[in-house]
Amino acid sequence: MAFRLKLVPTETKIDFFRWQYITFGVSVAAVILSLLSVLFIGLNFGIDFKGGTTIRTESTQVVDVGAYRGALSDLGLGDVSITEVFDPSFRPDQHVAMLRIAPQEGYEAVTPEVIAQVEAALLAVDPAITFPSVESVGPKVSNELIWKALLAVFAGSTGIWIYVWLRFEWQFAVGCVAALIHDVVVTVGVFSIFQLKFDLTIVAALLTILGYSVNDTVVIFDRLRENLQKYKQMPLRDLMNLTTNETLSRTIMTATTTFLALTALIIFGGDVIRGFVFAMLFGVVIGTYSTLYVAKNIVLMLGLDRTEKTRKERAKGDHEFANIDA
């Protein structure tokens, strides 16, 4: 007999609405806190959005941030951010640092001459130092990237809303999009509260989270639509609980396997993609939570028209997209 891994029992009877007002209140509070954090604390924009130049250094000698800063103090660069990078995949003699330099007054980016002066100053401190990468972004480009990033997230959310609305009823679309907004806002809020670097890779992670979350939600909504026809007299709350329990094994298995893969990436993937992977890890957790406790709660609050007339209309095919497989 083949071995089958089960993370949850085949049949569960969990009441997901037992603490519905508490869980929904926690979600609302998290969204409000995230918005306030972004408004008053702000985001730690990376070079993509803030503009300036980032220089990555590597050396066989231990990074001395104080010595680096002292070497650059006479160049008149203003506030220079120097951060040592740690990664389990680095060799014992591989020491990495990231220098972030804001554009100089009167220039859109750090000039090649200034970059050459920075490299020469650091070489005087550590002759073994190398500069594997130098990235520069001007303020005009960074402002355009911010608006394009917002547009990308908005367009993704709008497209998902239209898709769910066409496949299901409008209440499902509202619940799904509310869950997506919840996931994105809370993830951005975490980056704001902990001042983690926010760049274009994080925007890519947010768009990936949208896709992951909507996939999980649509699976439950699709089963719910089937059960609406199967259990015509069952109260909507009980029907939603039954549906969520029926799909719980799939939800937990998907979240667990994704989480394990991302955990391996955050440990061994290197510092370059660590921010992206962290956003994805948090997105998997918050996306699973919103699927179980946000999307369907909103559908229950809005209610569904389960009259015989509505079912007959659906049977005649008045909703031409309703029976299209995803």
pLDDT for res 9: 62
pLDDT in tens, 259-308: 999 999 888 877 778 888 999 999 999 988 988 888 888 888 888 766 65
Asked which of 97, 112, 137 is the last residue of a domain, the reply is 137
Residues 6+ away with beta carbon under 8 Å from 29: none
Mark whether 148 and 219 lie in a shared domain. yes
Tell me the residue range of the domain where 133 lies: 52-137
pTM: 0.74
The total of structural domains in the chain comes to 2
Q: Which residues are 52's β-sheet partners?
A: 137
Asked if the structure places residue 219 within a domain, the reply is yes
* Cβ atoms of residues 192 and 34 within 8 Å: yes
Q: Domain of 158: which CATH number?
A: 1.20.1640.10
DSSP labels, 30-83: HHHHHHHHHHHT--EE-HHHH-EEEEEEEESSPP-HHHHHHHHGGGT--SEEEE
Please write the tens of the pLDDT for every residue from 103-128.
766 666 677 888 888 888 888 888 88
